[in-house]
Amino acid sequence: MIDFTNKPLFLAPMAGFSDLPFRNVVKKFGADVTISEMISSNALVYESSKTLHMLERSELEKPYIVQIAGGDKEVLKKAVEILNQMDFVDGIDFNCGCPVNKVVKQYAGSALLNDLELFKTLVEVIKQTNKKRLTSVKFRLGFNEKYPEKMAKICEDLGVDFVSIHGRTRKQLYSGKSDYDSIAVAKMSVKIPVIANGDINANNADEVYNITKCDGLMIGRASIGNPWIFYEIKQNKKVEESLKKEIILTHFEEMLKHYQNQAVSIFRKHLHEYSKGHKEASAFRDEINRINDTKEMRKKIESFF
């Protein structure tokens, strides 16, 4: 299902970015495993029509894992039962790492690291209800302090297939550096595969493997505006500008298929990222902010990149 002997590369779930078009692009250029954007278990259970569009999978996504978040045992159970009905879902990942206030206030995401009894209860509910081949958990090093080995051990004891660890505490949010030594401690404490996450790029991937001894890497923010990062890590070489242009245009076409009329406006945030470091980038960003026509946008992309 996932070949951990080959050190797989995962795309991290990222709200507003790791949608179907983006996942399709990274699958074409080196990502081994893709995970949906974080899906609220409440939204899945009570507003499912809105959420279903977010759950769609592309043909290339094998395996495809859906990430859910929540702090209520019964709602999580119902959410997993809904996902059990979906043949295209290969696994369920439980988010215990999101540091955002509105998620933490609902006693979800990284709030669960403050209550390991509740963490254990909810992971157990998901594991026991899940009929898919994979159950995984993503978490941070801890809430204020670092104790990743505790969460890893709980997950292993409950039969979770693998864990992904972001190398910061909740308190750090996205500040400071990712602590790979702490991920290494967690990795040493369990036999199940451990995936390292946080600040990973094409330049430090080997170093992260050496420090953590992990079984794979999960890349999030470093892939935005840079989806060829997976190719660069695997091939150990830079992507040529011509291929970058092809990838950007492929991404645009995928957006059109998925979002139709809204694609041009939604794609602007990606183009802002893609254009970073280019000459005349700010003028380009200015122009595309005013373009609403598909053909005009495509022409602009072709001429700029």
- Collapsing DSSP to helix, strand or coil, 152 comes out as helix
Tell me whether residue 109 is annotated as binding.
no
Tokens of 79: 């959410």
Query: What does the alpha-carbon distance between residue 46 and residue 223 come to, in Å, rounded to a whole number?
Result: 32
Distance CA 149, CA 23 (A): 30
Query: Has 193 been labeled as part of a binding site?
Result: no
Q: Quickly tell me which residue has 């005013």 as its tokens.
A: 290
Catalytic residue among 96, 98, 155, 214: 98
Which among 269, 259, 250, 254 is positioned nearest to 58, based on CA atoms?
254
- Contacts with 239 (C-beta within 8 Å, 6 or more apart), sequence order: 228, 231, 232, 247
Q: Can you list the pairs that 51-59 forms with residues at least 24 positions away whose Cβ atoms lie under 8 Å?
A: 54/19, 55/86, 55/89, 56/20, 56/258, 57/20, 57/88, 57/89, 58/20, 58/23, 58/24, 58/27
Q: Token pair of 164, please?
A: 């992904």
Q: How many CB atoms lie within 10 A of CB 172?
A: 19
Q: Is 15 annotated as a binding residue?
A: yes
Catalytic, 214? Answer no
Q: How far is CA 277 from CA 6, 225, 271, 282, in A?
A: 33, 11, 12, 10
The verdict on whether residue 67 carries a ligand-binding annotation is yes
Distance of alpha carbon 270 from alpha carbon 61, whole angstroms: 21
Q: Is 260 annotated as a binding-site member? A: no
Strand 9-11 relative to strand 194-197, pairing: unpaired
Q: Determine whether the annotation assigns residue 168 to a binding site.
A: no
Does 31 appear as a known binding residue? no
Was 102 annotated as part of a binding site? no
Active-site residue list? 98
Annotated binding site for FMN: 13-15, 67, 138, 166, 220-221
Annotated binding site: 13-15, 67, 138, 166, 220-221
